[in-house]
Copies of this chain bind each other. A is one copy, B any other.
Amino acid sequence: MTARTSTDTAREIPEATVARLPVYLRALTTLSESGTAVCSSEDLAAAAGVNSAKLRKDLSYLGSYGTRGVGYDVDYLRYQIAREMGATRDWPVVIVGIGNLGHALANYSGFRSRGFRVVALLDADGQRHGEVVAGVVVRPFDDLAAIVHEHGVAIGVIATPAASAQDVADRMVESGITSILNFAPTVLNVGDHVAVSKVDLSKELQVLAYHEQRKATAEEAAKASAAQEPA
């Protein structure tokens, strides 16, 4: 017998699909807020900016939550995706490095509304201690272990300069954090059991610049060859 358990989270969902589920979630929320009760895969795909076949295949990994000939019940599907993603529960988060970026992150309401609760803001700089950002007080970095233990924090955010990032990551892992979102432009070395997600803003700009440059040189090449062989 190969019957699934009641919670039914055993299936392997491809990584590429997991990365898109938050986008679908957001699109469904928008649709729901605009009063749409049911939508087709075509509609949702358009809202999420993907191919409808891809959307249907992605959703099929979660289960069969649509109705053929009709479409998907927006709220029902939204709940199913949220449950699968772990978005139905609250995730305590600590942010380390309350500089420019740390302030912005602490003030960002979008985290809260998606189930992430900032339980602590930590900084190594004593000057910053005691400052209140978005209702949370900045505390010494050394309080990390105690806070992680107290709140059962699994997710940590690093917004320190690159030079400190590896140290901070080590301390986070020591304290029991198993998922890290890293904004510092450094490769972090951590154990296999720790998940690291890196966001590199400069990288994104550099990729855009590359394509701009390519466009420019391509145009130039076209012009040159047009000038050379207008035979």
Asked if A203 and B23 sit within 8 Å, CB to CB, the answer is yes
CB neighbours of A111 from chain B (8 A) = 201-202, 205
Residues of B within 8 A of A132 (CB): none
Distance to closest chain B CB from A128 (angstroms): 15
Cβ of A209 within 8 Å of any chain B Cβ, yes or no, is yes
B210 touches A9 (CB 8 A): no
The answer for the CA separation of A64 and B86 in the assembled complex, in Å, is 47
- Of the candidates B93, B197, B207, the one whose C-beta lies within 8 Å of that of A19 is B207
From residue 69 to 112 of chain A, which have CB atoms closer than 8 A to chain B?
84-87, 89, 91, 93, 100-101, 103-105, 107-108, 110-111
Asked if A125 is an interface residue, CB under 8 A from chain B, the answer is no
Give this chain's copy count: 2
In contact, B178 and A214 (Cβ under 8 angstroms): no
Residue ID in chain B nearest A181 by CB atoms: B204
CB of A48 within 8 Å of the partner chain: yes
**Is A169 part of the binding interface, using a Cβ–Cβ cutoff of 8 Å?**
no
Is B212 touching A154 in the complex (CB atoms < 8 A)? yes
Please determine whether A22 and B203 come into contact, CB atoms closer than 8 angstroms.
yes
**With A and B bound together, what is the CA distance between A116 and B63 in angstroms?**
46
Q: A107-B100, A213-B86 are in contact. Are A205 and B116 (CB under 8 A)?
A: yes
12 pairs across A/B with beta carbons < 8 Å? A10-B221, A22-B207, A23-B200, A25-B206, A49-B187, A101-B108, A108-B201, A114-B206, A155-B205, A179-B208, A179-B209, A181-B201
Closest 4 CB pairs of A and B: A86-B213, A49-B187, A179-B208, A100-B104
Residues of A bordering B, CB below 8 Å: 5, 7, 9-10, 18-19, 21-23, 25-27, 47-49, 84-87, 89, 91, 93, 100-101, 103-105, 107-108, 110-111, 114-116, 154-155, 157, 178-181, 185, 187, 195, 197, 199-215, 217, 221, 224
